[in-house]
Structure 1
Amino acid sequence: MNIYQQIEAEIKAASNIVITSHKSADGDSIGSSLGLLRFIQKLGKTARVCHPDPAPNFLYWLDTSGFLLMTEQPEEVAAAFETADLVFCLDYNATNRIGPDMQALLEAVTCKTVMIDHHLNPEAFPTLTVSETTASSTSELIVELIEQSGNGALLDSEIGTPLYLGILTDTGSFRFPSTKPRTHEILAKLLGAGVEHHLVHEALSDNNTASRLRLQGYAMCEKLEIMEDYMVAIISLSKEELAKYNYQKGDTDNLANQALSIKGMKAAIVFTERDGIMKMSFRSKGVENPVNVLAAEHFNGGGHANASGGMSELSVTETVEKIKGLVPSYFSIQ
């Protein structure tokens, strides 16, 4: 029995299943959670999705109305954990990635837990672990679960659409090195199952608000700094600047990729002042320019070699100066 068949057996034996994912929801955390939920329902079981916080606005076209949020429904989330007999941990590999309140609930459960994730250096907290660091996304691994547990016939557009979304967003529209031949094989399976990929792209691309575009335009025009000796771009946005452009969650998500698209750029670092800290996004190109080590060693973060997150408790100005001081140690001069 392979690991995916073991997970299927646990699903079928469970009565109260909880699906969790990391803070600061993104396309892969939402897509993998929703795809797994619908697969579990196809198996005739019930599950609740419990996330730390809401999805960003650009994902509201997905039906996440049944999700329980720690920030909005703490009592319902706590009750779901207390009655759970199986908990899934999707798209994260350390319990502190779900925030302190939900972390306490997860670490208190006595039932079996299942990690399905693709990030480096997983902690050894789950009962069952699928940790495939070469996979493009956790959504790709949910497709593997469905296929390799012998349930490929259940894959349809309802399950497949959020999983396609998760793969699409975590691969940067299939441009990152994590996009492997197997990724395209899985995408073909999703299209064969009825996923209308063009509608997913339209839903993601054609949902800008005027304020979001103005904020992004301001960031690129007024806040973009380029360390030309190293070809590293930096964008910083204070809480006042975000408020001026009526910032909504998700409005700055693509800024790092936009900056990285500048000809010759090796890396881009974007940070925004929110909730009293600087939330940071690191993006880079090529195996010779990893950003996860920089994020982990200096900004309490980490992730993939070319796509990582982090945070800083310094001021905007101090964070910019810290980054500029560190860049020469992590990127070669032109």
Structure 2
Amino acid sequence: MSIFNAENSLRFLKEVEAANNIVITAHKSPDGDSIGSSLGMYFFLQSLGIDSCICHPDPAPDFLSWLTGADQVHSWQQENEFAKELFANADLVIHLDFNAPGRVGEDMRPALEEATAKKIMIDHHLDPDKDFFDLSYSDPSCCSTSQMIAELIIASGHEDKLNNLIGTPLYCGIMTDTGSFRFPSTKPETHEIIAKLIRAGVKQYEVHENVYDTNTIDRIKLRGYALAEKMEIWEDLDTAVISLTEEEMKRFNYKKGDTEGLVNVALSIVGMKRAAYFSESEGYIKISFRSKGEDNPVNEIAAKYFNGGGHKNAAGGRWDLPIESAVERFKKALKNEI
């Protein structure tokens, strides 16, 4: 059952209607769900005649730039002084797709902690830091924050507001966070929401084409190199691993999003129960973990060994340089935990 029943939805609406300066924010290293839920919320509030703005820690990746409104998303990284003013002057901050202040990165975190604004969280990740937020809507059973926003809109009595403008980013967020509706988190309710979005005017084929079927030559070459030259198969551990250094990515003119979904390709190999993708960026190693089945949780490994966390079959973490040490730590962690 959705956390957004009529009572919770109306309580949320009362908060946004009472606010004068609303900022919508999400986690560092934006993905389809953080961008999709932010834009969906932004356009929903706009349909109610409520002004807001979106400010994320860093810019959206190129593969999401086609979304209407993506060019209106401010970033702490590129507009630092302006972003500081936004949070300092806000009387309401809506935190989407993350559940603890550390998820925005150390640069932007103080702005959230020092903000005097009321803080509302809408998120689907495990173990939320509810003490940080004034109002928390947490639903780890939901496949995506974008679905939660759609449920909020419907439960609040504003389903008639759903249109292509609101629905397209929400569809994109649900689609990317469910691996195109194939992950176990995809429930019947997810498909019911998708049906409503399509009826509202979302052209689902255009979303799929823009996200998955639009490639540059450099992107194709990078992915080919990663799979042919940088993938290791640990047959005794039923695990596939891909690692890329910053220098290797620069060789192929890397842009954010070029390796999106690469870890899922590794996981698709016959016999693999787990996969991990290690990438060097900004002086540390970012790690994406994926797995199949209830008996192969990767969120526990992410939390215990890599300062991370997430869902049972999809999690993330980080580690210090060099990249080889992170890969070796993962191998040891698997041997300890399996």
TM-score class, shorter? over 0.9
1:30 and 2:35 matched: yes
The reply on whether 1:205 has 2:205 as its aligned counterpart is no
Residue from 83, 98, 104 that aligns with 1:92: 98
Deviation at 1:100, TM superposition (A): 2.2
Structure 1 stretches of 5 or more lacking a match? none
Moved over 6 A (4+): none
Shift of 1:223: 1.0
Could you tell me how far 1:10 is from its partner in structure 2?
0.9
1:145 equivalent to 2:148? Answer no
Give the alignment of 1:170-319 within 5 angstroms. Answer: 170-319=177-326
1:15: Cα distance to partner?
Answer: 1.4
1:206 deviation in Å?
2.1
Q: CA deviation at 1:219?
A: 0.8
Deviation at 1:102, TM superposition (A): 2.2
Name the SS for the 2:236 alignment partner.
coil
**What is the aligned partner in structure 2 of residue 56 from structure 1?**
61
Question: Which string of whole-angstrom CA distances, capped at 9 and with x for unpartnered residues, describes residues 131-179 of structure 1?
Answer: 0000010000000110111111111111000000000000000111100
Deviates more, 1:168-177 or 1:204-213: 204-213
Work out whether residues 65 and 71 of structure 2, in 8 Å CA contact, stay in contact via their aligned partners in 1.
no
Match of 2:13 in 1: 8
Output one character per residue of 1:16-51: Cα deviation in whole Å (capped at 9) or x when no partner.
110000000000000000000000000101001010
1:77 partner amino acid: A
Question: Match of 1:32, SS?
Answer: helix
Q: Output the CA distance in 1 between the equivalents of 2:337 and 2:175.
A: 29
Alpha-carbon distance in structure 2 between the residues aligned to 1:277 and 1:102: 17
Structure 2 residue 132 is matched with structure 1 residue 132: no
- Runs (5+) with no aligned partner, structure 2: 1-5
How many residues are treated as equivalent by the alignment? 331
Which moved further from structure 2: 181-190 or 105-114? 105-114
Amino acid at match of 1:224: M
Q: Provide the identity percentage.
A: 53
Q: Distance in 1 between matches of 2:327 and 2:16?
A: 47
Q: Tell me the residue number matched to 1:70.
A: 76
Q: Tell me which amino acid in the other structure corresponds to 2:218.
A: S
Say if 1:100 and 1:321 are closer, same or farther in 2 by CA, change over 3 A: closer
Is 1:324 the equivalent of 2:338? no
* Amino acid in structure 2 at the alignment position of 1:251: D
Matched AA of 2:19: A
Per mean C-alpha deviation after superposition, the further-off stretch among 28-37 and 284-293 is 284-293
Mapped to 2, the partners of 1:232 and 1:95 lie a distance apart of: 32
Task: Show CA shifts across 1:287-331 (max 9, x none).
Answer: 111101101111111111111111110312222221111212233
Question: 1: CA distance between counterparts of 2:193 and 2:301?
Answer: 32
Match of 2:3 in 1: none
- 1:35-86 per-position Cα deviation (integer Å, ceiling 9, x unaligned): 0000000010100101000111111111311111100111111111122111
Partner of 1:44: 49
- Bigger drift between 221-230 and 98-107 goes to 98-107
1:103-114 equivalences under 5 Å are 103-114=109-120
Counterpart of 2:123 in structure 1 is: 117
Provide the rounded CA distance (Å) in 1 between the counterparts of 2:16 and 2:159. Answer: 16
What's the TM-score once normalised by structure 1's chain length?
0.97
The worse-fitting range, judged by mean Cα deviation, of 159-168 and 274-283 is 274-283
Q: Which residue does 2:108 correspond to in 1?
A: 102
Give the Å deviation of 1:110.
2.0
Question: Quick one: distance in 1 between partners of 2:107 and 2:269?
Answer: 40
- 2:59·2:74 contact (CA, 8 Å) conserved in 1? no
**2: distance between equivalents of 1:275 and 1:105?**
21
